[in-house]
Amino acid sequence: MSKRRKIRYFRFILPQFIGVLVFMIIPLGNVFRRSFTGMGNRLTLQNYRNVLENKSFKLALANNITFDLIGIAMIMVLSFVIAYLIYRRRNARLILVLMFPMAVPSNASAVVWNLLFRNTGMFKGFSGILFITFVYLWKYIGINVLLWCISLKNLSHEMIEAAALDGADRYDIIFKIMLPNLKKTAFILGILSFVNSFKIFREIYTLQGSYPDSHMYMIQHVFNNWFSALDISKLAAGSVLVILSVLMVSLLALLLTAEINQPVKEKKLFKTEKMAK
Partner 1 sequence: MIKELIKLIFITPEYYVLFWNSMKVVFAIILGQVCFAVPCAWGLSQMKNKVGSVLFVLYIICMILPFQCTMLAQYMVINELHILDTHWSLILPLVFSTFPVFILYDTFYKLEDEMIEAARLDGAGEFQIFLHIGVPLAVKSIAASAALGFFEYWNMVEQPILFITTKTKMVLSEFVPFSNGRDQAAVAFAIMSIVPAVIIVASCRELIDYMGEDEIEKGNS
Binding residues for partner 1 restricted to 223-252, rule: CB under 8 A: 223-224, 227, 232, 235-236, 239-240, 242-243, 246-247, 250
Decide whether 15 or 275 has the Cβ nearer to partner 1. 15
Using rule CB under 8 A, residue 165 touches partner 1: no
Using rule CB under 8 A, residue 81 touches partner 1: no
Helix or strand (DSSP H, E) at 125 = none
Using rule CB under 8 A, residue 37 touches partner 1: no
Helix or strand (DSSP H, E) at 214 = none
Distance from C-alpha of 31 to C-alpha of 48, rounded to nearest angstrom: 13
Residues binding partner 1: number (CB under 8 A): 78
Decide whether 7 or 276 has the Cβ nearer to partner 1. 7
SS3 43: strand
Burial 114-132 (b: 16+ CB within 10 A, else e): eeebeeeeeeeeebbeebb
Measuring CA to CA, which residue among 33, 31, 59, 58 is closest to residue 44? 33
Burial zone of 172 (CB within 10 Å; 0-12 exposed, 13-18 middle, 19+ buried): middle
Decide whether 46 or 245 has the Cβ nearer to partner 1. 245
Q: Which of 19, 65, 116, 180 binds partner 1 (CB under 8 A)?
A: 19
Tell me how far, at minimum, the Cβ of 100 lies from partner 1, in Å: 6
Decide whether 6 or 275 has the Cβ nearer to partner 1. 6
Residues in 166-225 that interact with partner 1 by CB under 8 A: 191, 194-195, 198-199, 201-202, 205-206, 209, 219-220, 223-224
Lay out the site mask for partner 1 across 118-147 (x = CB under 8 A, - = otherwise).
Answer: ----------------------------x-
Q: Which of 95, 132, 162, 186 binds partner 1 (CB under 8 A)?
A: 95
DSSP string for 103-164: HS-HHHHHHHHHHHHSTTSTTTT--HHHHHHHHHHHHHHHHHHHHHHHHHHHS-HHHHHHHH
Q: Which of 102, 137, 164, 269 binds partner 1 (CB under 8 A)?
A: 102
Q: How many CB atoms lie within 10 A of CB 277?
A: 6
Tell me how far, at minimum, the Cβ of 164 lies from partner 1, in Å: 13
The CB-side HSE value for 96 (13 A sphere, CA atoms) comes to 3
Using rule CB under 8 A, residue 4 touches partner 1: no
Decide whether 202 or 215 has the Cβ nearer to partner 1. 202
Tell me how far, at minimum, the Cβ of 95 lies from partner 1, in Å: 5
Residue 249 and residue 198 in contact, taking contact as beta carbons nearer than 8 Å: no
